[in-house]
Every structure is written in C-alpha cells, then in structure tokens.
Structure 1
C-alpha cells in the first residue's frame, strides 16, 4: 500500500496499517510533502514499513534532486541498497561479493555535495515549517469570511506542512467552478492552479496504449473485464476538480507583503463576483 496525501494532509495511517497487516501487505509512506510533520505523535515516514521523502528543487527542504527512504527493517534496507546501486551484492551488509541477486538495480546514488546540502537543510527544517505556518495563518485570517471559500481542514492528531495550500469553494454559493476562479485570480498576478490532471485522463488510459501495439495490458486475453476510465466512473474526482484549487507560492522565501497582495486579490474578486459569473457563462 502506498498512502499519499495532496498538500501534506495525512492519510488515516492507523486504519491503513490495520488493513495492510490483515492482508500481509507492506505500507510505503509517501512523505515527500510532509517532512517533520507528526501524525498522532509520530513523524510521517516512520509509521509504515518504509517512508519516502523527496528532496527535489521545490520541496520544503531540498538538495536539487534526489530523495531519502527510511525504514526500521534490515531486510528492506538491504534491498533498497541493492536497488540504489545496480543490484550489486557488494553494497548489502552480510552478502558476499559473489552472491547472485535476482533483481534489477539502478544508479540512485546521491553524491557527497548533495548530501552535505541535505544535512544543512535538515537542520533548518523546523524553522522553515514554522515560517510557512505563520504565513498561511496570515493568509487564512485575511480571507476569513469570504462567502463560499473553505480553508483546509486538519484531522485531529495531525499537523500540516503546508507544502501546498489547498482551498475549496462552494460553486453553488459563488456561482462558478474552481478553474474559473483560478483563471481570474491569476489575471490579478496570483499563481494558483486547479490541481493535478486526473491520472485516468492520461493518454495511456484514454487511448489504452502501454506495451507494444496490441493494447496490452488493457486488452489482455486473460482479462475479461472492460475498464472504464471516463470521468463518469470517478464522481469524487470529478467533483474535486470543480471545487478545489491550490498554490505552492507560500514558502519561507516570501514576505508578509506578498501575503497581503494575495489577500487583496481575493477580496477584489469577491467584490466583483457578479461580473465573474457573467464571464463564466460566456
């Protein structure tokens, strides 16, 4: 199982771990967006069997590229070292150099300079998270009370890294969907977007092409079903595309004046909702 959260809002890990244990599954936490964040007193990435962190250029802490995987399991740690280094037995503790490994490995080795940058970044992590929360609090307080705008919710016992600020609207109240709001806000100099393109809309699924020229695996002779990758088959995803939008610009690098400009843009749009509704009908 690979639990992931959008914008670092944690998945219900206790429940997922229980399901995994009952079915003999391994839990690999995608903690790329939530380093230093706790879930019921435990740091994300340490709750499942393995935790994966990303350190590429736009994450909370970064080394330019690369990432880190953590685990308490000697078995998993050994396999990860093999995967990182061409599956060469020389890198795994307790294995003879001549041992054969039935595994395909890659070159995922981090160089010393990136590692040194990462160690310094790690020491700054807590202060960077505090700064993000301060700026997000300033923004949310500034847009509080705007009709139909919903701030992010945080589950009890959880923290939020605010790697990405996720907001929602009520289209029935403001009169149009999130993509329209994103377009209007960005005309005011903002940098919002309406989230990720749903995976089911990728050409691989819509055209059902993956391996070779015979439609494998979508028209596999051993599979008798007919997969449906339309948006109608995913009503929750369809709804979220209409109500949610996000930004990644609230980082430790920006100033309070930048937040105030964002707040002013929201109030300007909300003061002219009737005009936006007319625009959305065109």
Structure 2
C-alpha cells in the first residue's frame, strides 16, 4: 500500500511558523509562543485505510486461534520479518507480552530478574506475575537505560534474567548486557515497548536478546486501536512454547481440530483480529511516519542545544533512537543560576513552558523501587514471591532519583508526521523562557 501526501497531512493543523511574539513571558501576561492548535496534535493518525481495514476484518476471522491465515498471523509474520526473528507472538497488551516472554523462557517462582529503576511499572510487575522477584539496578545518566555496572552488582545466585528497557526509544547497551548475561547464564528479555524500529549496532531491537516485547498501546509509535502487544523470539522452539502459553497451554495447529487439552500452565493473552488489522494498516505507513519523526525531532533538538543548562536527549553512538518520548534534563550550574536546586529549576521551567503552550510533563515521579507495590511487598499475599528467599536490601539508585528530579518530558505530540511546525513553536517557547533566566531564577528560589 502506498501512502499519499494527503494522508500524511490531512489531520495536521496549519499555522504559520513565527519567532517569539514578545519577550514578556505568558505566565506574566505575554502572548503564548504556541497557539492552541499546535498544543495537542492528534495521535494516532487514523485514515480511511485504517477504517477500511477494521471493517473488512469483521467479515473474516475475529480471533487468533481460527484455522488458516488471520490478521493476527499476518501481523506476526510481518513483525518477525522486520525484526529478523524466526518467531513472533501477538498478545493482548505490552504487559502480557513481557509476562509471556518470561514464562516461555522458564522464569518462575523464586527467580530474580534485574530491571531498571526508571521505567513504566509494567517492566517490574511482569516478573511478579511469574512469582519472580524484580531486582532494581540504576540507569545511565545520558541514555536513561540500564547501567551495566549496576546490573553486574545486582546479580546473585538467584538471578535468572536481565530485562533491559529501551526507554523512550533509546536501545540499552546490549553489548555489555549481553556479555553479562552470557557470563552468568541468564536470559535476556528486551522491553521494547517504546522502541519500535530502533537499532543497536545495525540490528533491530527485538532480536538482541532471547525475547523482545513490544507494546501496541494507542500512544505508541506503532499503535493499535486500544491495547495490544507483540513478542519476538530468537529461538523458534521458545516461540512455539509461548504460543501455547498464550492460549491456556493448548496446542493449536492449522488443519487440526481443537482438542481443548491444556499441556502446561497458560493464560488467555490472545490478540483480536480487529486489533491486528488496525496495526497492519498503520504498519503500511510506519516507515514514512518514522522518517518524518526523525527529521522533525533532529531539527527541534538542534535548536535547543545552545541553551545553557538545558540538556536535550541524544543518541548513543552506534544506535538509532525511536524518539517515543523526549526527556530534557536541567542543570542550574550550567545555566548560571547559583543557589538554585535542580528540582526547583524544573518546577519553574515546567510552569513557564506550560504557560507558553508547550505540553511538558513528567514521566514517572518516583523510582520503581520506591513504589508501594515494591516497598510493601504484599505481592500475592504473605509477601510472595519475596518470601521464597530472603532478598538482599534494595540498593540506592541515585542516578534514577536525580533524573526524575531534574527532568521534564515531551510526550506524544511529536509523533504526528506533520509535527514540524509545532516543534518549531515549542523551540520558540524554550528560547523565550531562556531569554528570561533571571525571572526563572527568581521563581525557582522563591519556590
């Protein structure tokens, strides 16, 4: 299917780009730098092709276990080909994708799984769902992904797997993490929920470990019409096991009547054909959208790199970034603001940018090991799975804490293929705020 220029532009607001209208900050009565039409670009972009794909599948197989080819099997085959893996299993959401991957690899009661302290909570809940214990390691301050040195310190005789998260679309250091896993005989499950099409050393994520889990939730770079997930496997036999686990532990084979026999512990993690059909249609346009995103984000970040004390996200050499989320760190000393703490600067900048119309937000407000589900350790009752073996005390994760304290994120608005004009205005707003650093400093000190 080819993508027309009309499909790429039909839903994008058209507002002429201009530089700062006034130096007076919007929080103090000035004109906002970003017009309302550019503050909330729609995502996903839904076209007539998407609607036709969903309508067409209503007359086809609606479930994944139907005999013969389905939209689900077509999506699995296309994603496996794109990731260069022998197997892909479609599931109901990104969290079940992680749980299914761990289950297929035999991760279970009493095992430990090393996960980053900064991620969406599903990264650490998935081991719990398998009665395994999440053990938290710190992150790299630049890539925001697992720090291999911290992972090495977290490995114990009970460690069974490492779960690197390609956070915000930046692949983790899979060379060093893979070497650690090989040295200790550990499984590697990539959490690539935010990293569709990202690469490490020329290889796509999803083929860099034993399994790769992707989310198709509606906010993701490759979405479905609600919730969905994909899991890739580098061993076809493990992929076949996952397919069994996905549906009640049954063996479902084309041309063979269903016998309703469960051969192992399984769940109902199936994806519907409606979800798959929508994603297949989106996948037709995914390369064009991804190329546009790369251009627009690069131009946006280039404008901001000269602002003192603002640290835009970068790309680790040898990798490509999917730019699902843009995280900006703030450094008061580099901004020439003595006596201002990073958290105070972040709060002041957050307020001022939002007043200018830039939809900045925070992604996670507390490290995962400090969330109640992991500190209270109720689990399945009686402290299970922690009670299987006395776990070591959770080590501090100072880099994660610092990143959460001093950073803000831009989410979803830049995903639209015509986000260029909006990002130009967002850059205007950043420059306007930085032109008023004395005011920013006064606000930060007052707070």
Question: Into which bin does the TM-score normalised by the smaller protein fall?
Answer: 0.7 to 0.9
Give 1:136 deviation, angstroms.
0.8
Counterparts of 1:40 and 1:7, CA distance in 2: 18
Partner of 1:204: 373
Residues 185-225 of structure 1: per-residue CA shift (max 9 Å, x gap): 1122211123313112312244444343x55666x495286
- Is 1:77 paired with 2:239? yes
Residues 55-104 of structure 1: per-residue CA shift (max 9 Å, x gap): 1101111112101111131221122112211222345999x95865231x
Counterparts of 2:284 and 2:205, CA distance in 1: 17
Counterparts of 2:253 and 2:409, CA distance in 1: 42
Counterparts of 1:221 and 1:253, CA distance in 2: 49
- Is 1:86 paired with 2:255? no
Give 1:44 deviation, angstroms.
0.9
Counterparts of 2:275 and 2:349, CA distance in 1: 39
Partner of 1:260: 424
| Secondary structure of 2:230 counterpart | strand
Partner of 1:40: 201
Moved more, 202-211 or 139-148: 202-211
Gaps of at least 5 residues in structure 1 are none
Change (3 A) 1:114 1:29: same
- Is 1:17 paired with 2:184? no
Counterparts of 2:221 and 2:245, CA distance in 1: 26
Moved more, 248-257 or 151-160: 248-257
Gaps of at least 5 residues in structure 2 are 1-161
TM-score by length of 1: 0.86
- Is 1:238 paired with 2:401? yes
Counterparts of 2:232 and 2:391, CA distance in 1: 40
| Secondary structure of 1:34 counterpart | coil
**For the Cα contact (< 8 Å) 2:164–2:188, is it kept in 1?**
yes
TM-score by length of 2: 0.56
| Secondary structure of 2:360 counterpart | coil
| Secondary structure of 1:52 counterpart | strand
Partner of 2:214: 53
Partner of 1:192: 360
- Is 1:275 paired with 2:420? no
Query: What pairs up with 1:48-127 in 2 under 5 angstroms?
Result: 48-64=209-225, 65-90=227-252, 97=259, 101-103=263-265, 105-127=266-288
**For the Cα contact (< 8 Å) 2:327–2:409, is it kept in 1?**
yes
| Secondary structure of 1:27 counterpart | strand
Instruction: Could you list the structure 1 runs, at least 4 aligned residues long, displaced by more than 6 angstroms after superposition.
Output: none
**For the Cα contact (< 8 Å) 1:81–1:92, is it kept in 2?**
no
Counterparts of 2:255 and 2:173, CA distance in 1: 34
Give 1:22 deviation, angstroms.
2.0
Counterparts of 2:327 and 2:294, CA distance in 1: 13
Counterparts of 1:81 and 1:179, CA distance in 2: 47
Structure scoring higher RCO (CA < 8 A, sep ≥ 6) equals: 2
Counterparts of 1:222 and 1:160, CA distance in 2: 39
Q: Provide the alpha-carbon RMSD of the alignment.
A: 2.6
